[in-house]
Amino acid sequence: MNSLTFFWNKDIYAKNKTSKLFIRAMKENIAFHRLHCPKYKKILDMQGFNESLLHNEASLALIPPLPTLYFKRNRLFSLPYKKLRIKATSSGTGGIKSKLGFDDKSFYYGMQMVCRFFSYHKLISLKPSHCIILGFEPSAKNSVAATKTAYGASFFSPVLSHTYALKYKDNSYIINIDGIIKALKSCSKSLFPIRFMGFPSYMYFLLEKLVQYKIKLKLPKGSKVMLGGGWKQFGDMEVSKDRLNYLIKDRLGIDRENVYEFFSVAEHPVPYIKCKNEHFHIPIYSRVIIRDINTLKPLPYGKVGILNLLTPYVRSMPLSSVLTDDLAVLHPAKSCGCGIATDYFELKGRAGVSQIKTCAAHAIDFGEKV
């Protein structure tokens, strides 16, 4: 049986039912990368790791985690890059971008995952909608994964129109908040809902403009807000979730239950969404380990450490175990109370540059500079 058949499971949080398949899929995934990516084989060998060591959930922590910083400074592929179906980069907020690529098989399982994920959370609709992208308009010169993701996610309902916060013109991007407001005034009179998706910062800039212009709208029933990607370079302007939700309700008439917050990492293409109690529960497609910043040893529930994300479905690159630059805490499912039966993590901010370099040095200790 194909070990990735659990990607078709309708219950995206049925961890106990899919645990054996997940571990088997991780073993197969790492074995494939060991065979097809000499650099990755060197990493595994230098760390003394073999996939035969994987026999239960706890043993997943033995997989050497690769820092996102490593992917930003090295090219690591298990299939010819030129033949990959999807090519993208990370956002490169710090000035350096990861070069990413996904083959047909990875793309197929990724689509299975995303469709199941959006269906479970009732974000797929046959009713057409107008779409406001709170980010970049796609262009041939923009390969950033977040741009592709937001555009792709807009098609989970039939799209009547696209309007972008950052419009591509004359080989550069310009802010288009006033253009969004013009579109909202027109679309608010429509029978069809409006879907917002993208960065929370641009949502906030839009809402502040509506306050400045003294505009209040009552958007059609079924309108939704889907936010993700963090505040990036606008971190010093970040407002609380309560403030943002208040403005969304006050200026657009969209209730809290129709505001969704996502988390993802370009180097770990698995989506996470906050439950009704504001927690990121772990779906069956991945596992989460919180590691000590200095030793990289797994930490117990309730301890702050560096966020390590694992998934077995990408064949084109060894993204099996990725060490992010996010600080987080892991909590048991029972402490949430929302009804989802998997553990969840809570983001605590970004690790500092020195902490990231320390983690990278521990994670990649085989003679190459990171």
Alpha-carbon span 80 to 37, nearest angstrom: 10
Residue type, 314: V
Res 367: pLDDT:
36
Average pLDDT of the chain, as a whole number:
92
**Nearest to 245, CA basis, from 274, 214, 286, 287:** 274
Distance in angstroms (rounded) separating the CA atoms of residues 322 and 29 = 14
User: What digits encode the pLDDT tens for the residues 218-231?
Assistant: 999 999 999 998 88
**11-76+276-361: CATH class:** mainly beta
At the topology level, CATH places domain 113-263 in Rossmann fold (3.40.50)
User: Which band of pLDDT confidence, cut at 50, 70 and 90, is reported for residue 235?
Assistant: confident
HSE toward the beta carbon, residue 332, CA cutoff 13 A = 4
186 and 164 Cβ atoms separated by less than 8 Å: no
3-state DSSP assignment of residue 196? strand
What are the counts of helices (DSSP H) followed by strands (DSSP E) for the chain? 9, 15
Domain edges within the chain:
11-76+276-361, 113-263
- Using the predicted structure, report yes or no on whether residue 357 has a pLDDT greater than 70: no
**pLDDT tens, position by position, 276-312:** 999 999 999 999 999 999 999 999 999 999 999 999 9
Provide the pLDDT for residue 94: 61
Model pTM? 0.91
8 A C-beta contact, residue 26 and residue 64: no
As a whole number of angstroms, the distance between CA 170 and CA 93 comes to 23
User: What is the rounded distance in angstroms from the CA atom of residue 81 to the CA atom of residue 108?
Assistant: 17
Sheet holding 224-227, edge to edge: 172-175, 159-169, 129-136, 194-198, 224-227, 259-265, 268-273
Which residue do the tokens 């696209």 mark?
A: 162
The position carrying tokens 């889907």 is 226
